Structures are given as C-alpha cells and as structure tokens.
Structure 1
Amino acid sequence: METIRAWLYRIGEPETEHWRVLNKCKRDPDALAYFLRHAGGELLCCNGEEKNMLMT
C-alpha cells in the first residue's frame, strides 16, 4: 500500500481522497493490481474509463 500511497502523492491526488483508493485496493485484488501498475509507471496516462475506477 505504501507504493500506491507514494504514487498518489506524486500525481497530486488530494490527500483527503487517498482513503478511497487504498480501501478499494484492500477490498479488490484487481484494483490493487491496477493501481500498482500505475504506481510502477506501467500506465502513464488515463482515459475517462480508467479514472472512473478511482471513484467506483
């Protein structure tokens, strides 16, 4: 989770929203894999569909 938290800071995600991503990662292994790919730089840009994953 620390990798994802650090990435959220790097991309400027408001700290007040970090809990949303981290909780989703704890509940959903697919979400965890998705955000780890982002945090690792594998996915460099987001389309609307990918951004929506943050909020669902």
Structure 2
Amino acid sequence: MNARDLETVYETLAEQLDAVAAGKRDLFLAKLVLLLAHDLGDAKRIQTRIAEAADHLDV
C-alpha cells in the first residue's frame, strides 16, 4: 500500500467514524479490526499489531 492509498483509507475511516454514533464507535472499531484480522489471516501478526497500536497513545 502506498502513501496515497493509506491516506485514502485514513480519510474513509475518519468519515465513517464521524458518521457512527459516538456510543457505537468502540463497537464499530472492534468489528472493523475483526474483519481485517480475518482478511489478514495471521494471528501472531495481528497480535503484534494490536500491541503496536496500544503503544504511545498519549502522544
């Protein structure tokens, strides 16, 4: 995925997050992660990415 594709994905995600009711955003993100994890099909890699996503959330 190149930088342009990544930007497009980010914009799509941002727009969808804005469209989802605030109380449903956590559920939306959990469902999205599970769908993408299914597509990726590599449990260890997914677990690594989950840990990476949790790093430095204060920044």
TM-score, reference length from structure 1: 0.34
- The one of the two structures with greater contact order (alpha-carbon pairs below 8 A, sep at least 6) is 1
Structure holding more helix per residue: 2
Greater C-alpha Rg: 2
TM-score, reference length from structure 2: 0.33
